[in-house]
Structure 1
Amino acid sequence: MNYKIDFVKNRNRFFALSIAITVLGILTLLIFNLNYGVDFRSGTTLDITVGKTIANTEAEAKADAEKLLSGGEIPQPKIVTLGGNNDRVTARYDRVLNQDESEKIIANFKSAFGNQVTYEENTVDVEMAKELAFKAMQAIAYASIGIVVYVSIRFEWRFAIAAIAALLHDAFIVISFFSILRLEVNLPFVAAVLTIIGYSINDTIVIFDRIRENLRFAKLKKFSDLAEVVNRSIWQTMTRSINTVLTVLVAAVCLLIFGSPAIRLFSLAMIVGLVSGAYSSIFIASPIWILLKNRSLSSKKTAAAK
């Protein structure tokens, strides 16, 4: 059967594209590391509600502790964002502010907007930041292990290896994207990665389930027979895969455009991960499985020849 795209035949091109992005991501990580947010490094976040619209430049000036405090030791806010109807300011500092420093910053806002100003202060110390980073990695590792066990039980170990390779591919693509563009990595980013893993494995399982179904009626004698099964299975599930991804992608794009700044990076991570997940389910997971399956086919031929 002729296909518009022969996924198996062109597998090396897809592998090369993923490897190129991965290598670029590794180099960026080695040189620049990730741009960790306050969640993963010590610091203070002030969420200040001023009760009326405020311009971004004014918010930055009011939150600039260096201009407020003597000694020159206090850092400028790492990032200042506006939320709500531009009446809520989020200022993040690279180190933990003491009570006097926080009060002077709030007093600066109250002098401009009156006593209607309210605020919430969140502080992460060094040990807590390390623990959060460790717990985040733990969560991703546990999720990956659980998926491997599930796929191994429901299908076979070759499917499990292909699935986990696709999942790691998706997670690292998102990490590489954030590293290359120097975007902030925080707890919502971890939530996005875990969500991406869930959607990615869903797409992969749909294709694997169809491959398993088609294998029941296939006579496997050579590699081309396996390629026929995989290509047919991918095309049979293509419409479902595209529709599923597009549905979630539209929601993620709407959150990116219309959502608050607090979830903007979460939405961006979701968009990158969803595209990567759809790509890996079709172009990475199935070709990896066929390479593993072909080895067992070759082994049976060798055993039969003896």
Structure 2
Amino acid sequence: MRSEYDEKKFNFVKASKPFFIFSIAITLLGIIFLSIFGLNYGIDFRSGSSVDISISKPITQEQTEQFLSAHNFGEHTLTTAPNRLSIRFKDALSDQQEKQLRADFNEQLDDKASFEVNIVDPDIAREQQNNALIGMAVASLGIVAYITIRFEWRFAIAAVVSLLHDAFIVISLFSIFRLQVNLPFIVAVLTIIGYSTNDTVVIFDRIRENLRFAKVKTAADLAMLVNRSIWQTLTRSINTVITVALGALCLFIFGSESIKLFSLAMIFGLISGAYSSIFIASPLWLVLRRNSNGKKAAKASSAG
């Protein structure tokens, strides 16, 4: 089954061990950061108020901080961008405080400023957090069921490990860089899971198709079949990721502040998804297949 053509190609299967080690190391690093620092939850997942102000003239961060301190609106974080200020208050603003903030800001800093205020109480924050986790769990279980029915359980395990790897990489990066986690972030993670599974299924489908016509006699033959299947689908996988990643990059550069973190999560996830589909999912299926065949051979030998 091995050919000179195969020998000249990069062997993804042979190089899988360093990639397994790399992914395990990144996962452990992510666990450490998550256990120490946790996630930087946005207004969607914790109680408080979010105030986004579109300004018509330059206002420095120092000016805004002086304004907020003078009015004692409570503990807050402030981020600035061209023509925009974003303020996150730890406690929810009352109606009176919100009206005072609008009126005083227009009077003292910018009379043409416009406001977008979102308030979340603790019960709603907990409910949204639970619903987000349930949504991710249901999506993962649905993917497991689909791949098990369409392929086999070894493909399903490899695919789930791959998609969990991608989701965890994105979550870890947001924890490490203290990026804000909100509802658009959850949408991005679910979208990433879908794209990652799509790339993985394409490779698995080619492996299954090649298995039908190949004469696999040894473990080396099976490894070469997996490697060849990856190469046969590589161009499609790369083109798909580049196309979507370019769209996400444009949204990140030119989009509004509200979708920048969504776009960034998509970029992280798309890169991780392409990597895991090629270097994690398929070699992991091969390991599971070899182990299964080895146990069958051992049973047959003992029975004889």
Same fold (TM over 0.5): yes
Whether 1:101 and 2:106 are equivalent positions in the alignment is: no
Aligned residue identity for 1:221: K
User: 1-side partners of 2:114 and 2:234: how far apart?
Assistant: 51
Is the partner of 2:192 in helix, strand or coil? helix
Aligned to 2:47: 42
User: 1-side partners of 2:191 and 2:213: how far apart?
Assistant: 35
Aligned to 2:137: 141
Fraction of identical pairs, as percent: 55
Aligned residue identity for 1:60: T
Aligned to 1:67: 70
Change (3 A) 1:117 1:9: closer
User: 1-side partners of 2:69 and 2:37: how far apart?
Assistant: 26
Aligned residue identity for 1:74: G
Aligned to 2:147: 151
Is the partner of 1:146 in helix, strand or coil? helix
Aligned to 2:3: none
User: 1-side partners of 2:78 and 2:197: how far apart?
Assistant: 35
| Alignment check: 8 A CA contact 1:59 1:89 kept | no
| Alignment check: 8 A CA contact 1:46 1:121 kept | yes
Please identify, of 156-165 and 5-14, the stretch whose mean Cα deviation from structure 2 is larger. 5-14
Q: How far off its partner does 1:200 sit?
A: 0.4
User: 1-side partners of 2:36 and 2:234: how far apart?
Assistant: 39
| Alignment check: 8 A CA contact 2:78 2:85 kept | no
1:210 corresponds, among 206, 213, 221, to: 206
Q: How far off its partner does 1:229 sit?
A: 0.9
1:55 corresponds, among 59, 63, 67, to: 59
Whether 1:291 and 2:287 are equivalent positions in the alignment is: yes
Change (3 A) 1:47 1:182: closer
Aligned residue identity for 2:164: L
Structure 1 regions of 5+ residues with no counterpart?
Answer: none
Q: How far off its partner does 1:44 sit?
A: 0.4
Please identify, of 280-289 and 213-222, the stretch whose mean Cα deviation from structure 2 is larger. 213-222
Aligned to 2:79: 80
Please identify, of 273-282 and 289-298, the stretch whose mean Cα deviation from structure 2 is larger. 289-298
Aligned residue identity for 2:16: R
Q: How far off its partner does 1:35 sit?
A: 1.0
CA RMSD of aligned residues (A): 1.9
Is the partner of 2:213 in helix, strand or coil? coil
Structure 2 regions of 5+ residues with no counterpart?
Answer: 1-5
Is the partner of 2:215 in helix, strand or coil? coil
CA distances 1:149-199 after superposition (whole Å, capped 9, x unpaired):
111111111100000000000000001111111111111111110110011
Change (3 A) 1:185 1:59: farther
Aligned residue identity for 2:128: L
Aligned to 2:24: 19
